[in-house]
Amino acid sequence: MFEATARDHRNQRVQTSIRLGFLSMTLLLAAPVLIVLGALVYKGMPIISLDFLLGDPTHGMTQGGIFPALVGTVCIVVVALIASVPAGVAAAVYLSEYAPENWLTRAINLGILNLAGVPSIVHALFGVGAFVLFFGFGTSILAASLTLAVMTLPVVIVATKESLQAVPMAFREACWNMGATRWQTIRTVVLPNAVSGILTGVILEVSRTAGETAPIMFTGAAFFLPFLPQSVYDQTMAMSLHLFVISTQVPDVPEALPYGVALVLIGIVLVMNSISIAFRIWLRNRKKW
């Protein structure tokens, strides 16, 4: 039976102190999030009802519901995902599996990192010039979604690239030794094993896309439009812009209304993220390695 020495006790105290320090930092980071969520639930929950979720804004947006903004937000997010995820995954596959290591590849990677740091208002102006004016989409769901897709492309590309590179090289070599082509290896082995990581990028994209205001304000979101869009070429209300408008531009708004809108917006993000996370966990459980 070994007896602990003074050095063992000292090391144990150091380990405990480090563990408590990291725990304190984690709680310190989580506390503001919990406080904000608690305040939103406390002040916004009284106004949440079926009529609030399924009704149209009335009396100058001081009463009624948020259904047009709710539907518009979902439409913008879905179209942005359809536009950005395939393009982002394709770019990541090329950079990870096909592109040689040279100055051009390094320049592309640098451009992707720089694109991730561009302010959203700059993306908004780019969306106006490119999609609203040059391509002639006008202020519409399509223009707003494409602007958000360009803005969130770096997230999808980086997450997908890291996920692809995490797949062991032995998987690729085994396929090549069996006579499979590079594309067959990517399609049947690499991508299926990287899907769970790709979904991480999609989750981050959903969170950012649903909460952005500046890009959609200039490209497709309407100040007040109490009816549903008929196509992607129509304007629509959006939750983030609606929250900004009733919080800063509309007088005599009930105190609970902005908090209720913010609570629903966070709920949309959490639901979409939860679906993606559940699918990612299911895919991870199917892995054999």
Q: Rounded to whole angstroms, how far apart are CA atoms 204 and 155?
A: 7
> Is domain 50-285 annotated with CATH 1.10.3720.10?
yes
Q: Rounded to whole angstroms, how far apart are CA atoms 264 and 102?
A: 47
Q: Rounded to whole angstroms, how far apart are CA atoms 36 and 41?
A: 9
What mean pLDDT, rounded, does the chain reach? 87
pLDDT digits (tens, 9 = 90+) for 106-159: 898 888 888 888 888 899 999 999 999 999 999 999 999 999 999 999 989 988
Instruction: Give residue limits of the domains in the chain.
Output: 6-47, 50-285
- Give the pTM: 0.85
Q: Rounded to whole angstroms, how far apart are CA atoms 198 and 215?
A: 24
pLDDT digits (tens, 9 = 90+) for 190-202: 888 888 788 888 8
Instruction: Report which DSSP code applies to 63.
Output: E
Q: Which residues of 237-267 are buried (b: 16+ CB within 10 A; e: fewer)?
A: bbbbbbbbbbeeebeebeebbbbbbbbbbbe
Q: Rounded to whole angstroms, how far apart are CA atoms 5 and 42?
A: 53
Which has the closest alpha carbon to 206: 81, 91, 90? 81
pLDDT digits (tens, 9 = 90+) for 81-118: 999 999 999 999 999 888 888 888 889 888 888 888 88
Q: CA 41 → CA 36, 48, 99, 184, distances in Å?
A: 9, 10, 49, 50
pLDDT digits (tens, 9 = 90+) for 237-271: 999 998 988 888 888 888 888 999 999 988 888 88
Confidence (pLDDT) at 288: 59
